[in-house]
Amino acid sequence: MAKLSVNINKLALIRNSRGGNNPNILKSALDCELFGAEGITVHPRPDERHIKYADVFELKPILKTEFNIEGNPREDKFVEMVLKSKPTQVTLVPDSTDQLTSDHGWDTVTHQEFLKNIISIFKEAGIRTSVFVDPIIEMIDGAKLVGSDRIELYTEAYAANYILDKEKAIEPYIIAAKHANTLGLGINAGHDLSLENLAYFSKNIPELLEVSIGHALVCDAIYLGLENTIQLYKRCLK
């Protein structure tokens, strides 16, 4: 059964909108764990519009499950933060500084030398590494060559086309996952996965280890409650 890592960025965005500490991000993360989440994900960006760098250092010592930090390793401040906080996993995402949300995976061929060097630094510190990629065989081969432990499949295309033709939408992801399995790469997935499309994805992706879900889960929690929502997402992964 794949693990559910809850991305708490949206909760931090709500907190920041009023300038106070409501919702309390530390308590929110602990409650997510209490309600069944097997991991907590954060994606701090340079403008700190949701998760702040200070949040990362406060979260690390209190979390009991896996801690996953996403971000662009071209930012020196990000690299320094990861090395100091030593999360369970760092997920490398090629976001630009002012990007609203992640919208593409790494070109692991063009950026091979950079990724190889930065991954070696993280792995030397004992941090598991994952590279955000589109479901393209060449990019998955590149992720193996740069030394990543896992890939995170960027699932927006699957989510966008699920309603139209779910079998066609998931086909490239099945092919990509099977190829990653042959290379010995662990498989994570994330972006726009929801209660509507998660169960089908989980059922069809071989050896899926982890999904990271934030936006849809927080939206569902507004209507269904956080504890119930986390349980519903976990049920999709069974």
Q: Which of 33, 38, 43, 152 is catalytic?
A: 43
| Nearby residues of 190 by Cβ (< 8 Å), 6 or more positions away | 7, 152, 153, 154, 155, 211, 212, 213
Query: Which of the residues 38, 70, 152, 210 is marked catalytic?
Result: 70
Q: Determine the Cα–Cα distance for residues 230 and 235; give it in Å rounded to an integer.
A: 9
Catalytic residue among 33, 66, 191, 210: 191
- 191 counts as catalytic: yes
Active site residue 152: no
**Strand-pair partners of 54:** none
Give the rounded distance of the alpha carbon of 54 from its chain centre: 20
Cα distances from 175 to residues 63, 137, 153, 170, 180, in angstroms, run 35, 8, 12, 9, 9
Active-site residue, 70 included: yes
In this structure, the number of other CB atoms found within 10 A of the CB of residue 174 comes to 15
Q: Where are the beta strands (DSSP E) in the chain?
A: 3-7, 39-42, 66-71, 89-92, 128-133, 150-154, 186-190, 208-213
Residue 153, strand partner residues: 133, 189
- Report the alpha-carbon distance of residue 182 to residue 151 in Å, rounded: 13
Q: Which residue numbers are catalytic?
A: 43, 70, 191
